[in-house]
Amino acid sequence: MSTISQNQQNQNLPEEYPWYDSVCRHFSQSEKIPAAFFVCDELVSVHPHFSTGTSSHYELLTNFNINPGTISIAETKGHLLYGALWIPKTRFCSIIIGPVKTYKASDDDDIRLLPAPDSLDEDTAQILNAYIHASPILSYEQLYNKLAFLNFIVNGLESESLEEYSSHSNAFVETVKKTQETDIYQDREFSVLHNNYSYEQEFLRNITLGKQTDVKELLKEGAPYLFRAKYSLNEMRTLKDDFILTVTLVSRAAISGGLDVETALQLCDHYVITVERCDSMEKIHNLFSTMISDYAGRTARYALPANTPALVTECVNYINANLTKPITTQSVAKHFEKRREYLSMQFKQYTGYPISEFIMRQRVENAKALLRYTNFSLAQISFHLCFSDQSHFQRVFKKYMDTTPNAFRQAAESQNV
């Protein structure tokens, strides 16, 4: 049910208003995105309904300017997005959709995504915090596509492509330039600068090469994070954002160094979730040290020489991503459209192993993790990693580890007691 104030009921609403209101309601219900109808900048109705007597949607639009145009998208300082759709055939009418988040915020930090959280009373802040927490996560492009679809329904108009839209929506860019120049001047005056670019590149290069000692030395002489940007007035939020940016870069550097893509990205997800749960800056700093050591250590086990050709690196990543499939030297060569003999020679020159042996070694490495950290049976593990049968798995494992899978699991369990 929509919300309409007493003053707004007396307005001369367009005769099509019930239809527009119905569109907003169905859009909100199907897309899980709030939608509001405005006439002359006055809120007429909003979906979903808010029982507080004021629209959370309206509160979020306070102090916000929308660029004129049939379709507009605006972004708050907290990276909330909302879209505006103007209705040319009804004078001064518009539909506002959103807000949507561009990333998942922790429960305590949702309210900080608002334009001016400190200006809100406690009750309103709690309501808006729950409202933001429930809002969906969408990219800029996804929101634009939904707005374009709504434009087609309401106005019967085909929207321009996102590229065309972006090309002439650059007023925000000019504003950023002006603000940036002022910030750069002030930061230089007070020596509040981002990390040196060469330091960042050296740091990531050592992650890629798995040089744990060099990484630790760089951390001693440089800032503990690759970024020191001002994302929020809240210092802990900024530290978390710095951590997230850093672990993202580190995970990609580890992939370049030979760590398999899925492991690197899942590890990244794990650390992002963990840092969001940290409730003190000390815990964030400690987690950072653990994260760097973890990635550097894992990459060291798979590190390739610095001059490794891209073909060999891509081949390693492809093998690591397909260990649960029946891959062979021939299938790998076919995937990269290379002669088997040529690829095998290149691969062994830089990894030290023939492709077939490298596949088996990587399967054993994966089996070790499954034996140590899960309760899956030997039969399940052997099937998962595409060994021909359990006996084959046991023979290969003993060949490379000089012990049986069961003995390895028992030793690992005794160490954890």
Beta bridge partners of 73: 83
Helix (H/G/I), strand (E/B), else coil: 347: helix
The residue with greater pLDDT, 267 or 181, is: 267
- 3-state class (DSSP) for residue 37: strand
| Separation CA 205–CA 215 (nearest Å) | 9
- Residue 402 pLDDT exceeds 90: yes
- What is the reported pLDDT for 85? 87
Nearby residues of 292 by Cβ (< 8 Å), 6 or more positions away:
207, 215, 219, 250
Q: What's at 43, amino acid-wise?
A: L
User: Is the separation of the CB atoms in 357 and 389 below 8 Å?
Assistant: no
pLDDT at 329 over 60: yes
| Helix axis angle, 235-256 to 281-302, nearest 10° | 0
Work out the percent of the chain whose per-residue pLDDT is above 70: 72
> Which among 380, 376, 365, 371 has a CA at the least distance from the CA of 406?
371
Asked if the model's pLDDT at residue 2 lies above 50, the reply is no
Q: Which range (157-166, 216-225, 282-291) has the least confidence? A: 216-225
C-alpha–C-alpha distance, residues 109 and 136, integer Å: 15
The top-level CATH class assigned to 316-416 is: mainly alpha
- pLDDT given for residue 345 in this prediction: 92
The residue assigned the tokens 């850093």 is 246
pLDDT digits (tens, 9 = 90+) for 35-91: 888 887 778 888 887 544 344 454 445 444 555 567 888 776 666 788 888 888 776
Query: Which residue from 269, 255, 373 is spatially nearest to 314, judged by alpha carbons?
Result: 255
SS3 280: coil
The residue type at 167: S
pLDDT, the chain, mean? 77
Outline where 222-354 has alpha helix (H): 235-256, 261-277, 281-302, 310-321, 329-335, 340-351
Sheet harboring 93-101: ordered strands across?
42-47, 35-39, 93-101, 80-86, 71-75
Q: What's the pLDDT tens digit per position in 169-199?
A: 555 555 555 555 555 555 554 444 445 566 7
Q: What is the dihedral of CA 163, 164, 165, 168, to 10 degrees?
A: 120
Q: Are strands 93-101 and 71-75 parallel, antiparallel or unpaired?
A: unpaired
Which of 325, 279, 330, 320 lies closest to 299 in space, CA to CA? 320
CB 302 within 8 A of CB 312: no
110-167 per-position pLDDT tens digit: 555 555 556 667 777 777 777 777 778 888 888 888 988 898 988 888 777 766 666 5
**SS3 assignment, position 83:** strand
Gyration radius from the chain CA atoms: 28
| Of 288, 276, 346, 271, the residue nearest 315 (C-alpha) | 346
3-class SS of residue 32: coil
Q: What is the mean pLDDT of residues 382-396?
A: 92
Residue 172, SS3? Answer: helix
Q: Are 30 and 10 in contact (CB under 8 A)?
A: no
